[in-house]
Structure 1
Amino acid sequence: MTPKPSFEVPKGAAAKVHIIDSGFRLSGMPTNFLLSPEMDKFDEVPPVGSWFFLVESSTGRKVLFDLGGLSNVGSFPPSVVAVIEDGVELTHVESVIWSHGHWDHVGDIEAVPPATGLVVGPGFKDEFLPGYPTKQHVELPERYFKSRNVQEIEFVPGQSCLRICDFAALDFFGDGSFFLLNTPGHAVGYLSGLARTTTNPETFVFMGCNICHHGAKIRPSNNLSIPAEIHLTPSGKEMSYPDGALFRALNIRWDRKPNEPFFDPVLAIDLPRTIKTIKDAQKVDGQDNVLFVFAHDMGVCGVVDFFPKSVNNWKKECWKEKTHWNF
């Protein structure tokens, strides 16, 4: 394995981070809709959920990163009910940040008070606003944006725009606890998040959302090789596979390199940029002090704590080791 790349993040405070299960489940999706090359006896992706995040700064400022998918279209989202019932007033959430404008991530923005701002990535307004039906090609209705301030993030080189690994980044709260990352390729205005979860030692959660739809699209890599022994925790039950060579042989059988992800991305508006973003994300995913969580990552089920508990102690709980091969 090559030496780990530099991973320098400006010093700052820790944020409190929660993973929220939107209650959404999608099943029956053909594998070739998301993954390439095709694999024998893997014709259908197992049912997936859609997670989103509540991030609270060191001074108590709160944002929701994504809203997940609706478990019952047209109903008040149970995930929003859960946030309220656990003592988080939606009026105290200053912004909802959409990683991108796909239906399984935007949730029900109308359940959030109109005074709460909506933060989107570069190019989002030109592509989506004012919404359907004025723009016939978009899936987001005009009512989502009515009476709501929509702020489009710009990553302009200069004092406010940072670099974290190969990503342009913005310090959202200004205290070094939560950064928005420019991660283009999958969709227009695509954003990811990086939150500092502890300061001594420094640990982080990378909110990758749809950088990958499946763990096998980002792992293995030059920065994260398949270990000699793989520990899996399906449904919270620990299992060990003593010979990682069995998994490395899969790539060789498909004429791929041993440290190349098992699959390539398919679903993207700009495939070359998506592939580059994945390669850049692999450098972060390979860091020992970063927990990478994507929106449809079923490998975290039965391992990590979901809302109302936080994920700040992920390093102490060894959740990275228990989840990152759990696909």
Structure 2
Amino acid sequence: MAQPAPDLKIPSSTTTVSVRIIDTTSRISGIPLAPFVTPEIKGFTELDIPAFSFLIEHPSNRKLLFDLGVRKDKENLAPKIKDRLETGGWKVETRQGVREQLEANGVKGSEVEGIVWSHWHWDHTGDPSTFDSSTALIVGPGFKDAFTPGYPAKQDSPIRESDYEGRELREIAFNQGLKIGRFNAFDYFGDGSFYLLDSPGHAIGHMCGLARVTANNFIFMGGDSCHHGGELRPSKYLPLPSSISPNPLHPSSSAPCPGSLFEPLYRDDDGTKPFYAIARLPDGKGVAHDEDEAEETIGKVIEADANDEVLVVMAHDDSLLDVVDFFPKYANDFKHKGWVEKGRWLFLKDFKGAVKE
């Protein structure tokens, strides 16, 4: 028996924002999965993923971006990161910068008041220098101490000075005494329309976003709080259904997929734990900065994910590529279009090599 979804206790508000999900045209492949999650599931060992950004538009015409994907000129990444990509043998491609996409579709880049970095990793930071100096760069707690100055002032920095030079570098302090679910929250516009959520673990200063798109419907911008739907589901709130539709193993089929196919992959007997947990590798070889904090953050995300009124979009969730409408279209009507239900179990496609049909 599934437990009811937790009440996130989101303060009521009549002010909403418009959200457009941007497929940044970034594609990243060849990254081993093992440093991210455990246990290993047969047939799924590498990530081949997009990178999403979000345009948030307030009714006052204020605009924010949440993440930027990979910069188009990846040869200009900080040398520390460029070397890591080359030695890792990862394939990275970006066809169009986020500002290019905005302006090709009638949104002036000069109107963006701030770029929120969910965190400092290269596949989220894009190239803020392509935006006007009036556009602030907004980061999470601990960022300035850990990462400034950037390259070249500090040769081994993972970010560049040009990312923040000449613009406001604003570090969020979660000191409003506000909670959304179990997240410490920051009410960005001061009217309940968009919150930043303190979500440490994966990286220093990691933040998520929560946008109110109708009075009671929300889009959760997850950054890298998790890297695969199998870290969120099943849960005690969302047990694996006996019949799964749309069929994740055969998308063109109208026949549902039996949930029992995936029972051998459970981490517990009753199927109320997600398929994956955070990888804990020796010698700091795992991806998470702090595995305990990362697991705690995922637990908080699971509570948001259990609500049908919340569309959870992780930055690299390739299972949503054929579900959601991307920029320049809007995502505010996700509830009416059934995106939560359509996308919830599609990540199971990645386990095709591990099940017997």
TM-score (norm 2): 0.85
Q: Does 1:79 align with 2:121?
A: no
Q: Does 1:272 align with 2:288?
A: no
Identical aligned residues as a percent? 41
Q: Map 1:244-259 to 2 at 5 A.
A: 244-251=259-266, 257-259=270-272
Deviation of 1:115 after TM superposition, in Å, equals: 1.5
The alignment partner of 2:346 has SS state of: coil
Supply the AA of the counterpart residue of 1:272.
Answer: D
* Alignment counterpart, residue 25 of structure 1, candidates 11, 24, 27: 27
Question: Which residue of the partner structure matches residue 177 of structure 2?
Answer: 161
Question: Which residue of the partner structure matches residue 6 of structure 1?
Answer: 7
Supply the AA of the counterpart residue of 2:198.
Answer: N
Deviation of 1:43 after TM superposition, in Å, equals: 2.4
Q: Map 1:309-320 to 2 at 5 A.
A: 309-320=329-340
Q: Map 1:62-211 to 2 at 5 A.
A: 62-73=63-74, 77-156=96-175, 160-199=176-215, 202-211=216-225
Structure 2 gaps of 5+ residues are: 77-93, 280-286, 348-357
Question: Which residue of the partner structure matches residue 34 of structure 1?
Answer: 36
Deviations 1:18-43 (A, max 9, x none): 00011111111222132211122222
Deviation of 1:303 after TM superposition, in Å, equals: 1.4
Q: Does 1:281 align with 2:301?
A: yes
Q: Does 1:60 align with 2:73?
A: no
The alignment partner of 2:213 has SS state of: strand
Deviation of 1:155 after TM superposition, in Å, equals: 0.8
Deviation of 1:255 after TM superposition, in Å, equals: 5.0
Which deviates more from structure 2 when the two are superposed, residues 242-251 or residues 189-198? 242-251
Supply the AA of the counterpart residue of 1:261.
Answer: P
What CA distance in whole angstroms lies between the structure 2 residues aligned with 1:101 and 1:238? 41
User: 8 Å contact 2:26–2:95 — kept in the other structure?
Assistant: no
What CA distance in whole angstroms lies between the structure 2 residues aligned with 1:180 and 1:135? 29
The alignment partner of 1:27 has SS state of: strand
The alignment partner of 1:50 has SS state of: strand
Deviations 1:231-290 (A, max 9, x none): 236697465434212223321xx5565111111123210000000000111001001110
User: 8 Å contact 2:18–2:330 — kept in the other structure?
Assistant: yes
Alpha-carbon distance change, 239 to 182 in structure 1, aligned in 2, over 3 angstroms: farther
Question: Which residue of the partner structure matches residue 261 of structure 1?
Answer: 274
Alpha-carbon distance change, 161 to 58 in structure 1, aligned in 2, over 3 angstroms: farther
Supply the AA of the counterpart residue of 2:226.
Answer: C
What CA distance in whole angstroms lies between the structure 2 residues aligned with 1:69 and 1:133? 20
TM-score (norm 1): 0.92
Supply the AA of the counterpart residue of 2:39.
Answer: P
What CA distance in whole angstroms lies between the structure 2 residues aligned with 1:288 and 1:186? 25
Question: Which residue of the partner structure matches residue 46 of structure 2?
Answer: 44
User: 8 Å contact 2:247–2:257 — kept in the other structure?
Assistant: no
User: 8 Å contact 2:149–2:157 — kept in the other structure?
Assistant: no
User: 8 Å contact 1:23–1:71 — kept in the other structure?
Assistant: no
Q: How many residues align?
A: 319
Deviation of 1:72 after TM superposition, in Å, equals: 4.7
Supply the AA of the counterpart residue of 1:41.
Answer: G
* Alignment counterpart, residue 238 of structure 2, candidates 210, 219, 224: 224
The alignment partner of 1:104 has SS state of: helix
Which deviates more from structure 2 when the two are superposed, residues 98-107 or residues 71-80? 71-80
What CA distance in whole angstroms lies between the structure 1 residues aligned with 2:317 and 2:201? 19
